[in-house]
Structure 1
Protein backbone atom coordinates (compact mmCIF):
# COMPACT_ATOMS: atom_id res chain seq x y z
CA UNK A 1 0.00 0.00 0.00
CA UNK A 2 1.06 3.60 -0.50
CA UNK A 3 -0.26 6.56 1.44
CA UNK A 4 0.10 9.93 -0.27
CA UNK A 5 -0.19 13.07 1.82
CA UNK A 6 -0.61 16.53 0.24
CA UNK A 7 -1.64 14.87 -3.01
CA UNK A 8 -2.36 18.24 -4.67
CA UNK A 9 1.33 19.15 -4.44
CA UNK A 10 2.13 16.46 -7.02
CA UNK A 11 0.42 18.61 -9.61
CA UNK A 12 1.87 21.82 -8.22
CA UNK A 13 5.39 20.44 -8.58
CA UNK A 14 4.66 18.94 -12.03
CA UNK A 15 5.15 15.33 -10.89
CA UNK A 16 3.42 13.56 -13.76
CA UNK A 17 4.48 10.03 -12.75
CA UNK A 18 5.14 8.58 -9.31
CA UNK A 19 6.67 5.15 -8.69
CA UNK A 20 6.51 3.52 -5.27
CA UNK A 21 9.41 1.67 -3.72
CA UNK A 22 9.47 -1.97 -4.75
CA UNK A 23 7.62 -4.69 -2.86
CA UNK A 24 7.83 -8.46 -3.20
CA UNK A 25 5.12 -10.83 -4.36
CA UNK A 26 5.50 -14.33 -5.74
CA UNK A 27 9.27 -14.10 -5.58
CA UNK A 28 9.43 -10.97 -7.74
CA UNK A 29 9.70 -7.27 -7.03
CA UNK A 30 6.93 -4.93 -8.15
CA UNK A 31 6.03 -1.25 -8.07
CA UNK A 32 2.86 0.76 -8.17
CA UNK A 33 2.96 3.51 -10.80
CA UNK A 34 0.61 6.49 -10.50
CA UNK A 35 -0.19 9.30 -12.91
CA UNK A 36 -2.09 11.92 -10.82
CA UNK A 37 -3.47 13.68 -13.91
CA UNK A 38 -3.58 10.76 -16.30
CA UNK A 39 -1.01 9.01 -18.44
CA UNK A 40 -0.20 11.56 -21.14
CA UNK A 41 1.54 8.94 -23.28
CA UNK A 42 -1.90 7.29 -23.59
CA UNK A 43 -3.62 10.67 -24.14
CA UNK A 44 -5.44 10.28 -20.84
CA UNK A 45 -7.08 13.38 -19.36
CA UNK A 46 -9.33 13.97 -16.37
CA UNK A 47 -8.46 10.57 -14.90
CA UNK A 48 -5.97 9.10 -12.45
CA UNK A 49 -3.99 6.31 -14.15
CA UNK A 50 -2.62 3.45 -12.04
CA UNK A 51 -0.42 0.51 -13.06
CA UNK A 52 1.45 -2.47 -11.67
CA UNK A 53 5.04 -2.73 -12.92
CA UNK A 54 7.68 -5.43 -12.60
CA UNK A 55 10.44 -3.53 -10.82
CA UNK A 56 13.57 -5.57 -11.48
CA UNK A 57 14.10 -8.01 -14.33
CA UNK A 58 17.90 -7.80 -14.48
CA UNK A 59 18.27 -11.04 -12.53
CA UNK A 60 16.08 -12.95 -14.97
CA UNK A 61 17.46 -14.74 -18.01
CA UNK A 62 16.75 -14.04 -21.69
CA UNK A 63 13.20 -14.70 -22.80
CA UNK A 64 11.77 -14.45 -19.28
CA UNK A 65 8.03 -14.17 -18.79
CA UNK A 66 5.99 -13.76 -15.61
CA UNK A 67 2.21 -14.13 -15.61
CA UNK A 68 0.33 -12.53 -12.73
CA UNK A 69 -3.24 -11.85 -11.65
CA UNK A 70 -3.55 -8.57 -9.77
CA UNK A 71 -6.01 -6.05 -8.45
CA UNK A 72 -5.45 -2.39 -7.74
CA UNK A 73 -7.47 -0.52 -5.18
CA UNK A 74 -8.16 2.87 -3.62
CA UNK A 75 -9.35 3.37 -0.05
CA UNK A 76 -12.74 5.01 0.53
CA UNK A 77 -11.96 6.71 3.83
CA UNK A 78 -15.63 7.47 4.55
CA UNK A 79 -16.80 3.86 4.37
CA UNK A 80 -13.46 2.18 5.22
CA UNK A 81 -13.85 0.09 2.09
CA UNK A 82 -12.06 -0.09 -1.23
CA UNK A 83 -12.68 0.81 -4.81
CA UNK A 84 -11.20 -2.29 -6.49
CA UNK A 85 -10.30 -2.79 -10.14
CA UNK A 86 -9.58 -6.42 -10.89
CA UNK A 87 -6.98 -7.10 -13.55
CA UNK A 88 -6.98 -10.13 -15.80
CA UNK A 89 -4.03 -12.48 -15.88
CA UNK A 90 -1.32 -10.50 -17.62
CA UNK A 91 2.02 -11.53 -19.08
CA UNK A 92 4.96 -9.36 -18.00
CA UNK A 93 8.10 -9.57 -20.14
CA UNK A 94 10.90 -7.49 -21.68
CA UNK A 95 8.63 -5.46 -23.94
CA UNK A 96 5.71 -5.11 -21.54
CA UNK A 97 6.75 -4.54 -17.94
CA UNK A 98 3.62 -2.82 -16.67
CA UNK A 99 -0.12 -3.36 -16.82
CA UNK A 100 -2.99 -1.47 -15.26
CA UNK A 101 -5.74 1.03 -15.85
CA UNK A 102 -5.49 4.17 -17.95
CA UNK A 103 -8.83 5.32 -16.49
CA UNK A 104 -8.56 4.09 -12.93
CA UNK A 105 -10.86 6.82 -11.60
CA UNK A 106 -12.12 10.17 -13.00
CA UNK A 107 -10.33 13.09 -11.34
CA UNK A 108 -13.70 14.76 -10.64
CA UNK A 109 -14.78 11.70 -8.64
CA UNK A 110 -11.40 11.37 -6.96
CA UNK A 111 -11.17 15.00 -5.81
CA UNK A 112 -14.77 15.15 -4.55
CA UNK A 113 -14.28 14.83 -0.78
CA UNK A 114 -17.80 13.39 -0.32
CA UNK A 115 -16.64 10.22 -2.08
CA UNK A 116 -13.96 9.63 0.55
CA UNK A 117 -11.06 8.90 -1.80
CA UNK A 118 -9.14 12.11 -1.09
CA UNK A 119 -9.63 13.36 2.45
CA UNK A 120 -7.63 16.28 3.83
CA UNK A 121 -5.51 15.97 0.67
CA UNK A 122 -4.53 12.40 1.64
CA UNK A 123 -5.27 9.14 -0.17
CA UNK A 124 -4.20 5.49 -0.10
CA UNK A 125 -3.64 3.19 -3.08
CA UNK A 126 -2.74 -0.49 -2.98
CA UNK A 127 -2.17 -3.67 -4.96
CA UNK A 128 -2.61 -7.42 -4.52
CA UNK A 129 -0.43 -9.59 -6.77
CA UNK A 130 -0.60 -13.33 -7.41
CA UNK A 131 2.07 -14.84 -9.67
CA UNK A 132 0.33 -17.61 -11.58
CA UNK A 133 3.18 -18.91 -13.74
CA UNK A 134 6.59 -18.05 -15.08
CA UNK A 135 8.84 -18.97 -17.96
CA UNK A 136 12.53 -18.22 -18.15
CA UNK A 137 13.57 -20.29 -21.15
CA UNK A 138 14.32 -19.04 -24.63
CA UNK A 139 16.21 -15.98 -25.73
CA UNK A 140 15.63 -12.53 -27.15
CA UNK A 141 17.57 -9.89 -29.00
CA UNK A 142 17.39 -6.19 -29.74
CA UNK A 143 18.53 -4.59 -33.00
CA UNK A 144 19.51 -0.93 -32.59
CA UNK A 145 19.97 0.89 -35.88
CA UNK A 146 22.19 3.97 -35.70
CA UNK A 147 20.74 7.19 -37.05
CA UNK A 148 23.18 9.45 -38.90
CA UNK A 149 25.98 6.90 -38.58
CA UNK A 150 29.39 8.29 -39.53
CA UNK A 151 32.21 6.46 -41.26
CA UNK A 152 35.87 6.29 -40.24
CA UNK A 153 38.82 6.06 -42.61
CA UNK A 154 42.18 4.47 -42.02
CA UNK A 155 45.13 4.56 -44.44
CA UNK A 156 47.78 1.85 -44.22
CA UNK A 157 51.10 2.38 -45.97
CA UNK A 158 52.87 -0.90 -46.70
CA UNK A 159 56.55 -0.57 -47.57
CA UNK A 160 58.98 -3.20 -48.93
CA UNK A 161 56.07 -5.25 -50.18
CA UNK A 162 58.29 -7.69 -52.08
CA UNK A 163 60.01 -8.61 -48.83
CA UNK A 164 56.83 -9.62 -46.98
CA UNK A 165 57.30 -13.23 -45.92
CA UNK A 166 54.49 -13.97 -43.49
CA UNK A 167 51.16 -15.37 -44.61
CA UNK A 168 49.27 -12.30 -43.35
CA UNK A 169 49.84 -8.82 -41.96
CA UNK A 170 47.57 -6.54 -39.92
CA UNK A 171 47.35 -2.77 -39.93
CA UNK A 172 47.31 -0.73 -36.74
CA UNK A 173 43.94 -0.74 -34.99
CA UNK A 174 41.50 2.11 -35.61
CA UNK A 175 38.06 2.98 -34.24
CA UNK A 176 34.73 2.99 -36.07
CA UNK A 177 31.35 2.84 -34.33
CA UNK A 178 33.04 2.55 -30.90
CA UNK A 179 34.75 -0.66 -32.03
CA UNK A 180 38.35 -1.45 -32.90
CA UNK A 181 39.10 -2.65 -36.42
CA UNK A 182 42.12 -3.71 -38.47
CA UNK A 183 42.84 -4.35 -42.13
CA UNK A 184 44.33 -7.79 -42.77
CA UNK A 185 46.37 -8.42 -45.93
CA UNK A 186 47.44 -11.77 -47.34
CA UNK A 187 50.32 -10.82 -49.71
CA UNK A 188 50.22 -14.20 -51.46
CA UNK A 189 46.49 -14.77 -51.06
CA UNK A 190 44.58 -17.28 -48.97
CA UNK A 191 42.17 -20.17 -49.56
CA UNK A 192 41.29 -20.42 -53.25
CA UNK A 193 43.12 -17.15 -53.95
CA UNK A 194 46.50 -18.50 -52.83
CA UNK A 195 49.27 -17.77 -55.29
CA UNK A 196 47.07 -15.89 -57.75
CA UNK A 197 45.45 -12.99 -55.87
CA UNK A 198 45.89 -10.57 -53.01
CA UNK A 199 43.37 -11.32 -50.25
CA UNK A 200 42.14 -8.44 -48.05
CA UNK A 201 39.83 -8.51 -45.04
CA UNK A 202 38.37 -6.16 -42.45
CA UNK A 203 38.92 -7.58 -38.95
CA UNK A 204 37.03 -6.88 -35.75
CA UNK A 205 40.04 -6.27 -33.53
CA UNK A 206 38.50 -6.50 -30.04
CA UNK A 207 36.59 -9.82 -30.00
CA UNK A 208 36.61 -9.88 -26.20
CA UNK A 209 34.01 -7.08 -26.26
CA UNK A 210 31.65 -9.05 -28.49
CA UNK A 211 29.38 -10.99 -26.17
CA UNK A 212 27.15 -13.89 -27.19
CA UNK A 213 24.26 -12.64 -29.28
CA UNK A 214 26.04 -9.47 -30.42
CA UNK A 215 26.12 -8.77 -34.15
CA UNK A 216 27.45 -5.62 -35.80
CA UNK A 217 25.98 -4.51 -39.12
CA UNK A 218 28.80 -2.80 -41.00
CA UNK A 219 29.24 -1.17 -44.39
CA UNK A 220 32.86 -0.95 -45.46
CA UNK A 221 35.02 -0.17 -48.46
CA UNK A 222 38.62 -1.25 -48.92
CA UNK A 223 40.70 0.56 -51.56
CA UNK A 224 44.19 0.21 -52.98
CA UNK A 225 45.44 3.51 -54.31
CA UNK A 226 46.64 3.89 -57.90
CA UNK A 227 49.68 6.08 -57.27
CA UNK A 228 50.12 6.90 -60.98
CA UNK A 229 46.61 7.93 -61.97
CA UNK A 230 45.45 9.30 -58.60
CA UNK A 231 42.57 6.84 -58.47
CA UNK A 232 41.96 3.50 -56.81
CA UNK A 233 40.42 0.07 -57.13
CA UNK A 234 37.82 -0.67 -54.47
CA UNK A 235 35.55 -3.30 -53.02
CA UNK A 236 32.42 -2.27 -51.09
CA UNK A 237 30.11 -4.55 -49.06
CA UNK A 238 27.73 -4.66 -46.11
CA UNK A 239 28.35 -7.49 -43.66
CA UNK A 240 27.40 -8.71 -40.18
CA UNK A 241 30.32 -9.17 -37.77
CA UNK A 242 30.01 -11.30 -34.63
CA UNK A 243 32.00 -13.48 -32.25
CA UNK A 244 31.86 -16.28 -34.80
CA UNK A 245 32.47 -14.02 -37.80
CA UNK A 246 35.28 -11.63 -36.90
CA UNK A 247 36.51 -11.01 -40.44
CA UNK A 248 34.93 -10.28 -43.78
CA UNK A 249 36.50 -9.37 -47.09
CA UNK A 250 37.75 -10.65 -50.42
CA UNK A 251 39.67 -13.87 -51.11
CA UNK A 252 40.39 -12.64 -54.66
CA UNK A 253 40.64 -8.88 -54.17
CA UNK A 254 43.03 -8.24 -57.08
CA UNK A 255 45.14 -10.57 -59.20
CA UNK A 256 48.87 -10.68 -58.47
CA UNK A 257 49.54 -10.12 -62.19
CA UNK A 258 47.64 -6.83 -62.26
CA UNK A 259 48.81 -5.71 -58.81
CA UNK A 260 52.51 -6.09 -59.66
CA UNK A 261 52.18 -4.63 -63.14
CA UNK A 262 54.02 -1.26 -63.08
CA UNK A 263 51.36 0.47 -65.16
CA UNK A 264 48.64 -0.35 -62.59
CA UNK A 265 50.18 2.08 -60.11
CA UNK A 266 49.09 -0.13 -57.21
CA UNK A 267 52.65 -1.04 -56.25
CA UNK A 268 55.06 1.83 -56.80
CA UNK A 269 58.65 1.74 -55.54
CA UNK A 270 57.65 -1.41 -53.60
CA UNK A 271 55.03 0.60 -51.67
CA UNK A 272 51.25 0.21 -51.70
CA UNK A 273 48.56 2.26 -49.96
CA UNK A 274 45.50 0.49 -48.55
CA UNK A 275 42.54 2.43 -47.20
CA UNK A 276 39.51 1.20 -45.25
CA UNK A 277 36.32 3.23 -44.89
CA UNK A 278 34.12 1.69 -42.16
CA UNK A 279 30.61 2.66 -41.00
CA UNK A 280 28.64 0.77 -38.32
CA UNK A 281 24.90 1.03 -39.05
CA UNK A 282 23.43 -1.21 -36.37
CA UNK A 283 24.13 -3.49 -33.43
CA UNK A 284 22.15 -6.52 -32.29
CA UNK A 285 22.49 -7.46 -28.61
CA UNK A 286 20.95 -10.22 -26.52
CA UNK A 287 18.13 -9.40 -24.12
Structure 2
Protein backbone atom coordinates (compact mmCIF):
# COMPACT_ATOMS: atom_id res chain seq x y z
CA UNK A 1 0.00 0.00 0.00
CA UNK A 2 1.23 3.49 -0.70
CA UNK A 3 3.07 5.27 2.09
CA UNK A 4 1.49 8.05 4.09
CA UNK A 5 -1.88 8.45 5.71
CA UNK A 6 -4.01 5.34 5.54
CA UNK A 7 -7.15 5.88 3.41
CA UNK A 8 -10.41 6.18 5.29
CA UNK A 9 -12.49 3.01 5.15
CA UNK A 10 -16.25 3.59 5.43
CA UNK A 11 -17.58 1.51 8.28
CA UNK A 12 -14.24 -0.13 9.10
CA UNK A 13 -14.74 -3.60 10.57
CA UNK A 14 -12.01 -3.17 13.14
CA UNK A 15 -8.64 -1.55 13.82
CA UNK A 16 -5.80 -2.12 11.34
CA UNK A 17 -3.85 -5.27 11.94
CA UNK A 18 -1.58 -7.77 10.23
CA UNK A 19 -3.22 -9.53 7.30
CA UNK A 20 -3.22 -13.28 6.76
CA UNK A 21 -0.98 -14.45 3.95
CA UNK A 22 -2.52 -13.61 0.60
CA UNK A 23 -1.89 -13.24 -3.10
CA UNK A 24 -3.70 -10.51 -4.99
CA UNK A 25 -5.19 -10.49 -8.50
CA UNK A 26 -6.40 -7.26 -10.05
CA UNK A 27 -7.54 -6.16 -13.46
CA UNK A 28 -10.45 -4.45 -15.20
CA UNK A 29 -13.85 -6.12 -15.60
CA UNK A 30 -13.74 -9.01 -18.04
CA UNK A 31 -10.00 -9.64 -17.76
CA UNK A 32 -10.41 -13.16 -16.37
CA UNK A 33 -9.65 -12.47 -12.70
CA UNK A 34 -12.35 -14.72 -11.27
CA UNK A 35 -11.46 -17.61 -13.58
CA UNK A 36 -7.80 -17.35 -12.58
CA UNK A 37 -8.47 -16.90 -8.87
CA UNK A 38 -10.90 -19.81 -8.75
CA UNK A 39 -8.45 -22.07 -10.58
CA UNK A 40 -5.61 -21.21 -8.20
CA UNK A 41 -7.79 -21.64 -5.12
CA UNK A 42 -9.41 -24.90 -6.17
CA UNK A 43 -6.29 -26.57 -7.54
CA UNK A 44 -4.08 -25.60 -4.61
CA UNK A 45 -6.48 -25.73 -1.67
CA UNK A 46 -6.51 -21.99 -0.99
CA UNK A 47 -9.10 -19.64 0.44
CA UNK A 48 -10.86 -17.46 -2.14
CA UNK A 49 -11.91 -13.85 -1.60
CA UNK A 50 -13.92 -12.45 -4.52
CA UNK A 51 -14.57 -8.74 -4.19
CA UNK A 52 -17.75 -8.95 -6.28
CA UNK A 53 -19.40 -10.99 -3.54
CA UNK A 54 -18.84 -8.08 -1.13
CA UNK A 55 -20.13 -5.34 -3.46
CA UNK A 56 -23.37 -4.76 -1.60
CA UNK A 57 -21.88 -5.14 1.86
CA UNK A 58 -19.30 -2.53 0.92
CA UNK A 59 -22.01 -0.22 -0.36
CA UNK A 60 -23.96 -0.69 2.86
CA UNK A 61 -20.85 0.16 4.88
CA UNK A 62 -20.36 3.29 2.80
CA UNK A 63 -24.02 4.26 3.24
CA UNK A 64 -23.82 3.74 7.00
CA UNK A 65 -20.80 6.04 7.06
CA UNK A 66 -22.71 8.72 5.11
CA UNK A 67 -20.49 8.50 2.04
CA UNK A 68 -21.91 11.10 -0.43
CA UNK A 69 -21.27 9.16 -3.65
CA UNK A 70 -22.78 5.97 -2.22
CA UNK A 71 -25.83 7.89 -1.01
CA UNK A 72 -26.29 9.55 -4.38
CA UNK A 73 -25.99 6.25 -6.27
CA UNK A 74 -28.71 4.59 -4.18
CA UNK A 75 -31.04 7.57 -4.64
CA UNK A 76 -30.80 7.58 -8.45
CA UNK A 77 -32.77 5.40 -10.81
CA UNK A 78 -30.68 2.88 -12.80
CA UNK A 79 -31.12 5.01 -15.93
CA UNK A 80 -29.93 8.15 -14.14
CA UNK A 81 -26.96 6.35 -12.62
CA UNK A 82 -25.59 5.24 -15.96
CA UNK A 83 -26.20 8.57 -17.67
CA UNK A 84 -24.05 10.43 -15.14
CA UNK A 85 -20.86 12.17 -16.31
CA UNK A 86 -17.70 10.03 -16.33
CA UNK A 87 -16.23 11.59 -13.18
CA UNK A 88 -19.48 10.95 -11.30
CA UNK A 89 -19.65 7.38 -12.60
CA UNK A 90 -16.18 6.66 -11.26
CA UNK A 91 -16.93 8.30 -7.91
CA UNK A 92 -20.22 6.42 -7.47
CA UNK A 93 -18.50 3.11 -8.27
CA UNK A 94 -16.62 3.55 -4.96
CA UNK A 95 -13.58 2.16 -6.75
CA UNK A 96 -10.94 3.72 -4.49
CA UNK A 97 -12.98 3.27 -1.32
CA UNK A 98 -13.66 -0.38 -2.06
CA UNK A 99 -9.96 -1.04 -2.53
CA UNK A 100 -9.38 0.10 1.04
CA UNK A 101 -12.36 -1.94 2.25
CA UNK A 102 -11.00 -5.06 0.54
CA UNK A 103 -7.67 -4.62 2.31
CA UNK A 104 -9.62 -4.16 5.54
CA UNK A 105 -11.65 -7.32 4.90
CA UNK A 106 -8.52 -9.36 4.30
CA UNK A 107 -6.96 -8.10 7.52
CA UNK A 108 -10.11 -9.24 9.33
CA UNK A 109 -9.98 -12.81 8.01
CA UNK A 110 -9.24 -15.42 10.61
CA UNK A 111 -6.53 -18.07 10.42
CA UNK A 112 -6.69 -20.30 7.39
CA UNK A 113 -5.02 -21.21 4.14
CA UNK A 114 -3.31 -18.70 1.89
CA UNK A 115 -6.00 -16.37 0.52
CA UNK A 116 -6.44 -15.54 -3.16
CA UNK A 117 -7.87 -12.02 -3.29
CA UNK A 118 -9.32 -10.87 -6.59
CA UNK A 119 -11.23 -7.88 -7.83
CA UNK A 120 -11.21 -4.79 -9.99
CA UNK A 121 -10.59 -2.54 -6.95
CA UNK A 122 -7.34 -4.44 -6.26
CA UNK A 123 -4.86 -1.78 -7.40
CA UNK A 124 -1.24 -1.02 -6.53
CA UNK A 125 -2.62 1.25 -3.80
CA UNK A 126 -4.55 -1.65 -2.25
CA UNK A 127 -1.97 -4.40 -1.90
CA UNK A 128 0.49 -4.43 1.02
CA UNK A 129 3.24 -6.00 -1.11
CA UNK A 130 3.18 -5.74 -4.93
CA UNK A 131 5.48 -8.76 -5.07
CA UNK A 132 2.47 -10.82 -4.03
CA UNK A 133 0.20 -9.40 -6.73
CA UNK A 134 -0.48 -9.69 -10.44
CA UNK A 135 -2.69 -7.61 -12.68
CA UNK A 136 -4.45 -9.07 -15.70
CA UNK A 137 -4.59 -6.47 -18.44
CA UNK A 138 -6.49 -7.32 -21.63
CA UNK A 139 -5.02 -6.26 -24.92
CA UNK A 140 -6.98 -3.44 -26.62
CA UNK A 141 -8.44 -5.93 -29.10
CA UNK A 142 -9.61 -8.28 -26.36
CA UNK A 143 -11.04 -5.43 -24.30
CA UNK A 144 -13.09 -4.23 -27.27
CA UNK A 145 -14.29 -7.75 -28.00
CA UNK A 146 -15.33 -8.57 -24.45
CA UNK A 147 -17.15 -5.29 -23.92
CA UNK A 148 -19.00 -5.81 -27.20
CA UNK A 149 -19.90 -9.40 -26.25
CA UNK A 150 -21.47 -8.25 -23.01
CA UNK A 151 -23.81 -5.84 -24.77
CA UNK A 152 -23.34 -3.30 -22.02
CA UNK A 153 -25.32 -0.06 -21.72
CA UNK A 154 -23.27 2.96 -22.70
CA UNK A 155 -22.80 4.10 -19.11
CA UNK A 156 -21.48 0.72 -17.99
CA UNK A 157 -19.17 0.61 -21.00
CA UNK A 158 -17.91 4.07 -20.05
CA UNK A 159 -17.25 3.03 -16.45
CA UNK A 160 -15.38 -0.12 -17.47
CA UNK A 161 -13.21 1.92 -19.83
CA UNK A 162 -12.49 4.39 -17.03
CA UNK A 163 -11.53 1.58 -14.65
CA UNK A 164 -9.09 0.14 -17.18
CA UNK A 165 -7.47 3.54 -17.75
CA UNK A 166 -7.30 4.22 -14.00
CA UNK A 167 -5.60 0.90 -13.30
CA UNK A 168 -3.13 1.32 -16.16
CA UNK A 169 -2.15 4.74 -14.81
CA UNK A 170 -1.66 3.39 -11.28
CA UNK A 171 0.48 0.49 -12.51
CA UNK A 172 2.65 2.90 -14.49
CA UNK A 173 2.93 5.33 -11.58
CA UNK A 174 4.11 2.55 -9.26
CA UNK A 175 6.51 1.09 -11.83
CA UNK A 176 4.82 -2.31 -11.76
CA UNK A 177 4.73 -3.25 -15.43
CA UNK A 178 6.63 -6.41 -14.49
CA UNK A 179 3.65 -7.60 -12.43
CA UNK A 180 1.28 -7.48 -15.41
CA UNK A 181 -0.01 -10.48 -17.35
CA UNK A 182 -1.26 -9.27 -20.72
CA UNK A 183 -4.30 -11.27 -21.82
CA UNK A 184 -4.65 -11.56 -25.58
CA UNK A 185 -7.53 -12.97 -27.65
CA UNK A 186 -5.68 -16.24 -28.27
CA UNK A 187 -4.62 -16.77 -24.64
CA UNK A 188 -6.35 -19.68 -22.90
CA UNK A 189 -7.20 -19.67 -19.17
CA UNK A 190 -4.37 -22.18 -18.73
CA UNK A 191 -1.96 -19.77 -20.43
CA UNK A 192 -3.01 -16.98 -18.09
CA UNK A 193 -2.72 -19.25 -15.06
CA UNK A 194 0.78 -20.37 -16.03
CA UNK A 195 1.96 -16.79 -16.44
CA UNK A 196 0.40 -15.72 -13.14
CA UNK A 197 1.80 -18.72 -11.28
CA UNK A 198 5.28 -17.83 -12.49
CA UNK A 199 4.96 -14.32 -11.04
CA UNK A 200 3.43 -15.61 -7.80
CA UNK A 201 5.64 -18.68 -7.40
CA UNK A 202 7.20 -17.60 -4.11
CA UNK A 203 4.02 -16.64 -2.24
CA UNK A 204 2.13 -19.65 -3.60
CA UNK A 205 4.86 -21.98 -2.35
CA UNK A 206 4.60 -20.53 1.16
CA UNK A 207 1.04 -21.74 1.73
CA UNK A 208 -0.53 -22.75 3.99
CA UNK A 209 -2.99 -24.89 2.05
CA UNK A 210 -5.98 -27.11 2.72
CA UNK A 211 -4.83 -30.70 2.47
CA UNK A 212 -7.82 -32.93 3.22
CA UNK A 213 -11.08 -33.30 1.27
CA UNK A 214 -13.04 -31.97 4.24
CA UNK A 215 -10.86 -28.86 4.40
CA UNK A 216 -11.32 -28.29 0.67
CA UNK A 217 -15.09 -28.73 0.93
CA UNK A 218 -15.18 -26.22 3.78
CA UNK A 219 -13.42 -23.66 1.60
CA UNK A 220 -15.76 -24.25 -1.33
CA UNK A 221 -18.80 -23.97 0.94
CA UNK A 222 -17.52 -20.63 2.26
CA UNK A 223 -17.03 -19.48 -1.34
CA UNK A 224 -20.60 -20.44 -2.23
CA UNK A 225 -22.02 -18.86 0.92
CA UNK A 226 -20.40 -15.58 -0.10
CA UNK A 227 -22.06 -15.80 -3.53
CA UNK A 228 -25.46 -16.52 -1.97
CA UNK A 229 -25.06 -13.58 0.40
CA UNK A 230 -24.14 -11.34 -2.53
CA UNK A 231 -27.41 -12.12 -4.29
CA UNK A 232 -29.56 -11.93 -1.17
CA UNK A 233 -28.09 -8.57 -0.19
CA UNK A 234 -28.69 -7.24 -3.68
CA UNK A 235 -32.26 -8.53 -3.88
CA UNK A 236 -33.07 -6.94 -0.51
CA UNK A 237 -32.63 -3.47 -1.99
CA UNK A 238 -35.92 -1.62 -2.57
CA UNK A 239 -35.24 -0.88 -6.23
CA UNK A 240 -34.44 -4.46 -7.29
CA UNK A 241 -36.75 -7.08 -8.73
CA UNK A 242 -36.50 -10.84 -8.60
CA UNK A 243 -37.58 -13.67 -6.36
CA UNK A 244 -34.81 -14.62 -3.90
CA UNK A 245 -36.12 -18.18 -3.87
CA UNK A 246 -36.09 -18.78 -7.61
CA UNK A 247 -33.39 -16.51 -9.06
CA UNK A 248 -30.72 -18.70 -10.72
CA UNK A 249 -27.27 -18.48 -9.16
CA UNK A 250 -24.04 -20.15 -10.24
CA UNK A 251 -22.11 -21.96 -7.50
CA UNK A 252 -18.85 -23.91 -7.44
CA UNK A 253 -18.97 -27.67 -7.09
CA UNK A 254 -18.10 -28.74 -3.55
CA UNK A 255 -16.80 -32.22 -4.47
CA UNK A 256 -13.28 -31.25 -3.28
CA UNK A 257 -11.57 -32.66 -6.39
CA UNK A 258 -8.68 -30.23 -7.08
CA UNK A 259 -9.18 -30.66 -10.83
CA UNK A 260 -12.94 -30.07 -10.78
CA UNK A 261 -13.95 -26.86 -12.54
CA UNK A 262 -17.71 -27.49 -12.54
CA UNK A 263 -20.02 -24.56 -11.98
CA UNK A 264 -23.57 -25.45 -10.99
CA UNK A 265 -26.57 -23.19 -11.54
CA UNK A 266 -29.28 -23.60 -8.92
CA UNK A 267 -32.23 -21.55 -7.60
CA UNK A 268 -30.97 -19.38 -4.77
CA UNK A 269 -33.63 -20.75 -2.44
CA UNK A 270 -32.15 -24.26 -2.69
CA UNK A 271 -28.83 -23.20 -1.19
CA UNK A 272 -27.54 -24.51 1.10
CA UNK A 273 -28.72 -28.01 0.14
CA UNK A 274 -31.25 -29.62 2.44
CA UNK A 275 -29.73 -31.85 5.06
CA UNK A 276 -26.40 -30.06 5.01
CA UNK A 277 -24.95 -32.06 2.14
CA UNK A 278 -22.35 -30.79 -0.29
CA UNK A 279 -23.29 -29.23 -3.62
CA UNK A 280 -21.82 -31.72 -6.09
CA UNK A 281 -21.50 -32.08 -9.83
CA UNK A 282 -21.90 -35.87 -9.62
Query: TM > 0.5 between the two?
Result: no
Comparing both structures, which one devotes a greater share of its residues to strand?
1
Relative contact order higher in (CA < 8 Å, ≥ 6 apart): 2
Comparing both structures, which one devotes a greater share of its residues to helix?
2
Question: TM-score range with shorter-chain normalisation?
Answer: under 0.3
Please, what TM-score do these two structures have when normalized by structure 1? Answer: 0.17
Structure showing greater radius of gyration is: 1
Please, what TM-score do these two structures have when normalized by structure 2? Answer: 0.17
